[in-house]
Chains A and B, each alone.
Chain A
Amino acid sequence: EVQLVESGGGLVKPGGSLRLSCAASGFTFTSHTMNWVRQAPGKGLEWVSSISTSSSYMYYADSVKGRFTISRDNAKNSLYLQMNSLRAEDTAVYYCARKRLTGDHLGPFDIWGRGTMVTVSS
């Protein structure tokens, strides 16, 4: 079964750090660009970051640039999001999502995890 399972969420104080993980199974992880998407409570979806198959390119939303770092370990079939200098507005469910396999860097997100909740509050 194709699956993505996020972990690492929790309650953190403003200015704190958190590292999210996403464990992939059931597919060839090394073939897919991977992504993080978040959703604040009661709000819509916001793309956060993407990383290519060999980590040769990484993109970030302006709202997290300089504070968040995406990475992957292809040997462990895992995706990560290191979040530093957290703010109240980073409070959200964070989803790990797989880019559909295409011949280029363009593609929708065809597999999503269930998400992990991050709450930034004092």
Chain B
Amino acid sequence: EIVMTQSPATLSVSPGERATLSCRASQSVSSDLAWYQQKPGQAPRLFIYGASTRATGIPVRFSGSGSGTEFTLTISSLQSEDFAVYYCQQYNNWPRTFGQGTKVEIK
């Protein structure tokens, strides 16, 4: 099983600032990496797939990068609606696995 490790667990950021979230895979997943946003009481929402492709309707301030085992989600200028939990997921191998999540909170 590929273990996905996200860091940090919690990120405190002020509105308008840049946020950088990391995700590491225990073995290469190529570019088969997705990022999801989840707000309290809601289902997850696909934000990034293929490591760097924004899903439909996702603002350009969200960008993904990386390949192999190291991945990054960057939010260039945090807006109030961006405070949430973000999960990475690999879909290169079975079982599909998620990271434990990074909570982006208001500083």
Contacts and interface: CB of A to CB of B under 8 A. Distances in A.
A8 interface: no
A95 interface: yes
Interface in A20-79: 35, 37, 44-47, 50, 59-62
A61 B95 contact: yes
A45 B100 CA distance: 7
Contacts of A112: 43-45
B43 A46 contact: no
The dominant DSSP class at the B interface is loop
Contacts of A14: none
- The A interface, classified by DSSP as helix, strand, loop or mixed, is strand
Contact of B99 (A35, A44, A106): A44
B13 interface: no
Given A47-B98, A59-B94, A109 B87 contact: no
Nearest to A50: B96
B7 interface: no
Contacts of B46: 100, 108-110
Interface size class on chain A is: 20 to 34
A114 to B, nearest CB: 6
Interface string B78-107: 000000000101011011111111000000
Contacts of B87: 44-45
Contact of A47 (B42, B55, B95): B95
B43 A95 contact: yes
Given A45-B36, A59-B95, A109-B44, 10 more contacts: A44-B98, A46-B98, A47-B98, A50-B96, A59-B94, A62-B95, A106-B32, A109-B36, A112-B43, A113-B43
14 contacts: A44-B101, A45-B44, A45-B87, A47-B97, A59-B94, A60-B95, A100-B46, A106-B32, A106-B91, A106-B92, A107-B91, A108-B46, A108-B89, A108-B91
Interface of B: 1, 32, 34, 36, 38, 42-46, 49, 55, 87, 89, 91-92, 94-101
